């Protein structure tokens, strides 16, 4: 069966420090991968998605970037964190290689606090 | 662009009460529709989905949703809620052949025992 991992679970970082959040998927090949930010009462904001290695699409211009160095690895990064980057970050995957419209499967999330 | 509205942001019910959470979307073409649920301390997970066929869809834990194309709606229902249904519920829509879902803001449901 497929599993999705995110780490760390919680992170406290000073303003201006770099960020690296990692997401890995097991049990499937060539998944579509997604990064979301979840804010209370505001739903899920899609940040980035990827349909293949090295293919990254950005939905919201901001202080963050994403990379997909391997088929089942998706990394969210920042060179210098802002206070506004605080939030709950979710990674998700869906079945790749098909037409769109597929179910998303979410990881446990990373809670980031920037001080 | 697609937008999704969830009309109820906070719902408080007693056990055995009936539940209906509203979800409306804006794009009128082909859509795939989803309800996701996030129980306290757990992953966001799929509750039910509609791709095609019977517009009345049944999901886990006794939930169902009805797709009404003419109303651009996909409301979630459960005839008798339980304390364990306390969670946050998200409606999501994917338009046409897109890879990108649009999520509603979510509804926080609290069920008192």
pLDDT tens per residue, range A63-108: 899 999 999 999 999 999 999 999 999 999 998 777 667 899 999 9
Phi, psi of A22 (to 5 degrees): -115, 145
* Torsion over CA: A42, A94, B22, B58 (sign): negative
Q: State the pLDDT at residue B28.
A: 72
- Which tokens sit at B95? 């338009």
A31 contacts on B by Cβ (under 8 Å):
none
- Is the per-residue pLDDT at A61 higher than 70? no
Place of tokens 């869809």: B57
User: Nearest to residue A77, comparing CAs of A40, A110, A52, A99?
Assistant: A110
Which tokens sit at A38?
């979840």
Ranges assigned E (strand) in chain A: 3-7, 10-13, 19-26, 32-38, 44-52, 55-58, 65-70, 73-78, 87-94, 105-106, 110-114
Q: Do B90 and A44 touch (CB under 8 A)?
A: yes
Residue A54, phi-psi category: left (phi > 0), alpha (psi -120 to 50), beta (remainder): left
User: Using CB atoms, which residue from B96, B100, B105 is nearest to A43?
Assistant: B105
* CB-nearest partner of A41 from B51, B96, B105: B105
Supply the pLDDT for residue A26: 96
Tell how strand A110-114 and strand B56-58 pair up.
unpaired
The whole-number pLDDT of residue B74 equals: 97
Check CB contact of B34 with chain A, cutoff 8 Å: yes
Across the interface, do A46 and B100 touch by the CB < 8 Å criterion? yes
CA distances from B64 to B20, B60, B77, B85, B89 (A): 10, 8, 5, 13, 13
- Spatial neighbors of B12 by CB under 8 A, at least 6 apart, are B109, B110, B111, B112
Q: Are A107 and A91 in contact (CB under 8 A)?
A: yes
The answer to whether the beta carbons of residues A66 and A78 sit under 8 Å apart is no
A72 vs A107: CA distance, rounded Å: 13
Which residues of chain A have a CB within 8 Å of the CB of B105? 41-43
Per-residue pLDDT tens digits of chain B, which is 113 residues long? 789 999 889 999 999 999 999 999 997 788 999 999 999 989 999 999 999 899 999 999 999 999 999 999 999 999 999 999 999 999 999 987 788 899 999 999 999 98
């Amino acid at each position: 069966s497929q599993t999705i991992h995110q780490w760390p679970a919680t992170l406290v970082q000073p303003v201006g420090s770099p960020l690296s959040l990692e997401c890995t998927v097991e049990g499937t090949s060539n998944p579509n991968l997604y990064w979301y930010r979840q804010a209370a009462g505001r739903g899920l904001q899609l940040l980035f998605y990827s349909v293949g290695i090295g293919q990254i699409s950005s939905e919201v211009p901001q202080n963050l970037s994403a990379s997909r160095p391997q088929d089942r690895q998706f990394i969210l990064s920042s060179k210098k964190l802002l206070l506004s980057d605080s939030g709950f970050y979710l990674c998700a995957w869906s079945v790749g290689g098909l037409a769109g419209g597929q179910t998303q499967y979410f990881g446990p999330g990373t809670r980031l606090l920037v001080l | 662009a697609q937008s999704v509205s969830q009309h109820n942001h906070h719902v408080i019910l007693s056990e055995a009460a009936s539940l209906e959470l509203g979800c409306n979307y804006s794009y009128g073409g082909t859509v795939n529709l989803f309800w996701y649920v996030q129980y306290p301390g757990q992953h966001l997970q799929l509750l039910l989905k509609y791709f095609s066929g019977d517009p009345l869809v049944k999901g886990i834990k006794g939930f169902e949703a009805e797709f009404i194309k003419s109303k651009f709606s996909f409301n979630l229902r459960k005839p008798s809620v339980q304390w364990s249904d306390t969670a946050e519920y998200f409606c999501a829509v994917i338009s046409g052949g897109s890879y990108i879902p649009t999520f509603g803001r979510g509804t926080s449901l609290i069920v008192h025992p």
